[in-house]
Amino acid sequence: MKIKTPKIYSFKSMLDEYNEEPQKVVLTNKSKSSKFILFEETPTMRGKREQVLALLKKNEGVLKEIEEAMVDYTRARIMAYPQVSPVLVKKAGSQNDSEYYNARVMWPEYDGSQRELRVYLGKKSDFGDFTDAKELHLAQQKISDQLKRRKEMNTLERNEK
């Protein structure tokens, strides 16, 4: 089950997008006798794009503060109600077919990136069907507890903003 969260707007992503000059798009007809411009940045458009860049740079501190608040909100939401994405893992070379579940958690970082975390859920035999609400809630609680423990141990942060 996918849980929808608000998008995190990254200062770096916005700056990169508006720094990049849009490519000119030209279409040639089949006889190659004429070309048609489908898109080209006009001087007016360039000025507007540069205006956006100037505003982004002028408000960098505020925008980064907003981004930080968005990341903090999303992380708090994930810690309280993580999405359950179980992955069945089989130990290599194991004689007794020991299988267990890990959960994948996409952890938001600053500058628009995400990091995949793996959380151990337990042996396959401890779980039934992940479509059952009780099983999903149990897995969600285990993921939440593990994330909280990692936060207390300070192992979630990369110490970069």
pLDDT tens digits in sequence order for the chain, 161 residues long: 567 889 999 999 999 999 999 988 888 887 777 888 888 999 999 999 999 999 999 999 999 999 999 999 999 999 999 988 888 887 766 556 678 889 999 999 999 899 999 999 988 888 888 888 888 888 999 999 999 999 999 988 775 54
In this prediction, residue 141 carries a pLDDT of: 94
Please choose, from the candidates 117, 109, 119, the residue with its C-alpha nearest in 3D space to the C-alpha of residue 140: 119
In this prediction, residue 35 carries a pLDDT of: 84
The Cα-based distances of 148 to 27, 75, 140 in angstroms read 55, 11, 12
- Global pTM exceeds 0.85: no
Describe the crossing of helices 43-58 and 11-19 by its angle, rounded to 10 degrees: 160
| 3 exposure class (CB count in 10 Å sphere: 0-12, 13-18, 19+) | exposed
Are the C-beta atoms of 108 and 71 separated by less than 8 Å?
A: yes
Cα 40 to chain centroid distance, Å, stands at: 32
- Where do we find the tokens 């979630």? 156
